Amino acid sequence: MAAKRDDSALRKAHQDQRERVNKANEEAMKRVAEARPTPTQEENDLARIGIHVEQKEDDKSGENVLVERTVIAGQPTGPHGYETRAARAKTPPA
């Protein structure tokens, strides 16, 4: 009979991950519910008749986050980087 494994650490890690995902989803849904379309209909109407709007209305989406990515040649793009297989011709038998 196989020995019973103690997988409580795995279950806790899985539960923690679910809680983080649920929290992130709730925050995202709250931002979407509070956000307004940008540009607003009034800004679209003014642009249509040629009026440039300098001061835009706040769309309540929150702070703009700048995401930067560094790509290094020959390095995988992430933890599960994509690599292609090298096709090599077979060497002829001697």
Tracing tokens 């292609």 back to the chain, one arrives at 84
Is 4 among the domain residues? no
Element (H, E) at 8: helix 8-34
CA atoms within 13 A on the CB side of 45: 3
Is 43 among the domain residues? yes
Is 19 among the domain residues? yes
> Which residues have a Cβ under 8 Å from the Cβ of 39 and sit 6 or more positions away?
47, 53, 56
Q: Which two tokens stand for residue 12?
A: 């806790």
At 71 the pLDDT is: 66
* pLDDT tens digits for range 37-90: 678 888 889 989 998 888 877 777 677 777 676 666 666 665 566 555 666 777
Q: What is the pTM of this model?
A: 0.40
Is 38 among the domain residues? yes
What letter would DSSP give residue 75? S
Structural domain range at position 40: 9-48
Query: What is the number of domains present in the chain?
Result: 1
